[in-house]
Amino acid sequence: MIQIQQLALILDALPDPAFIISKSGQYLAVFGGKDGRYYHDGSSLVGLKLTEVLNSDKAEYFQSLIDQALASRSLIIEEYELCIKDVKGIPEAGPSQPIWFEGRIQALDFLVEGEPVVLWVASNISQRHELEIQLRQLSDTDQLTGLFNRRRLVQDLSALFDNFSYHKLPSSVLILDLDNLKAVNDQLGHHVGDEIMRAIADTCKQQFRKTDNAYRYGGDEFVITLASVEQPQAISFAEHLLGCFFEALQQHAINGIYATVSIGVASFEAGDKSYEDALRRADAALYQAKRNGKNQVIVKTA
């Protein structure tokens, strides 16, 4: 038969910290989680309220999870981030970087000083979270250029169109295509063509605001999204980009052979049913630019 003292030692040896927290948000006890590589020492939290330990947003969030666990009587599983600035009641000894946790919150079938309580077990999942981020980036990124891929484009355009539809926030779309890339590949080699596409990507990154994004749409075709940009500004930016692209691609010219860029521009309009309407207009503008002699910007409206 396990004795009470032995049970206390077992609880203290738990790899993850386990808290007993009351309905009113008071830390009543903490067990385990002594490995300083993964956790701060939480013993100083005992006797404090959530509002004394956490900033107001985090305290309110934690309290809502406790209320949910007590009301449902079922296990609540939640992922959340904590860093030193979020937590006021612990010493700074321990991990210095923000930590991602998986919290498992379960109502207990007894009262402490007349209050319902929960068991809150917090597992450090920072490594798993970082791996998930890396996997998402890989699934969203074009390997050659480092730009986003078509899969991410669909996701981002959908979000931009929702903001346009519900909040009237404008956005514009540029489609650009490399002129004469086949001649470059045939006469200079595909490695030069790859360098040209990377030069396009690098130029975009140098000229963009934080809210602008570029995507490799397929082959030598790219899409640029300009959030909160109306058509006149989009045209000006496209013309500026055209000059930047020309300058960058001239550096890759060999024996007078080089690529240029044609750009089609469109913006979301009141009659659009989806982002695809603007994308189709930009695509039509692109091919008009190529028919007109290439290395130019054309805009299409509905």
Which residues, 6 or more positions from 238, have their beta carbon under 8 angstroms from its beta carbon?
174, 263, 265, 297
Sole residue written with tokens 């989009």 = 234
Among candidate residues 156, 179, 220, 283, the one labeled active-site is 220
Nearest to 279 by CA among 288, 267, 291, 290: 267
Sole residue written with tokens 């509002």 = 51
* Six token digits for residue 299: 């805009």
Active site residue 220: yes
Contact 148, 140 (CB under 8 A): yes
* Six token digits for residue 89: 């009641």
The phi and psi torsions of 177 (rounded to 5 degrees) equal: -135, 140
Residues belonging to the active site:
220
